[in-house]
Structure 1
Amino acid sequence: MEHSEQSAQSDYEQPRPPGLIGSLAGVAKNSLRLVLSRVELAACELSEVRDHIVQLSVLFALSVLAAWFAIAFGTATLVVLAWEALGWKILLILAVVFVVIAIGLVMTISKMIRSGKLALPATMAELKADRDMLL
């Protein structure tokens, strides 16, 4: 009867914790899930970055085209109208104006790039957190 009581008790005991192989499989499974979630996050952010790059490229191309037409027609008009009064000095004045405009445009473009729209902030933060957790 003792033997049957022991087997009845062993049926109600909690299962043993997994062995080394089971633990390694669990770690591998969790690591794979972690890597997959980071890849999904990076893919999502990369699609946002791609959209921003496309928008920036289209706006840049249109602004360059419009600027070339404005520069060409405006310069020709100003030179014709002011040549009698200023002579060659009108060309110098227009050159200075265009240099100031070019500097302003370059500063605006660098500001847009530094704003972080082309970075992957959430992915980098998660990867840093993962590294800190593992080390």
Structure 2
Amino acid sequence: MRRIASSLLEIARSRIELIGIELTEEKERLLGVAFLGLAAMLLGMLALVVLTGLIIVLFWDTWRWQAMTVIVVVYVLLAAWCAARARTILREAPMPFEATLAEFEKDRDALRPD
């Protein structure tokens, strides 16, 4: 009986350690992606502001309203594409703790009486 209890406790301990490792990995991945995403957005916005200003200055005397309209339409289309892409990425993301759940399934199957 002691060996069974000891085995069960060891299994539970190893699964909890696995959950902790997966949580740490997920946290580090999310922080890295968030930082890179914010940096990309900041730099992209700066580039867009400068590009927008340049286009408006170039067309100011002749086609200023048309140039501004084209710029707005392009920005809206790009924003919609980015939102759709982000939604797709989130939907297709792997389920968190897959390895832990798989190990729990193996444990459950191994402990079932035949």
For normalisation by structure 1, the TM-score amounts to: 0.70
Q: Which residue in the other structure is 1:85 paired with?
A: 62
Distance 1:82 1:105 in 2: 28
Amino acid at match of 2:74: V
Q: Which residue in the other structure is 1:115 paired with?
A: 93
Distance 2:89 2:26 in 1: 13
Alignment of 1:41-80 (within 5 A): 41-80=18-57
* Percent pairwise identity: 26
Question: How many residues are matched?
Answer: 111
Structure 2: 5+ residue stretches without partners: none
Distance 1:111 1:52 in 2: 18
**1:30 and 2:7 are equivalent in the alignment:** yes
Distance 1:52 1:86 in 2: 46
Q: Cα distance 1:127–1:85, how it changes in 2: closer, same or farther (>3 A)?
A: farther
For normalisation by structure 2, the TM-score amounts to: 0.81
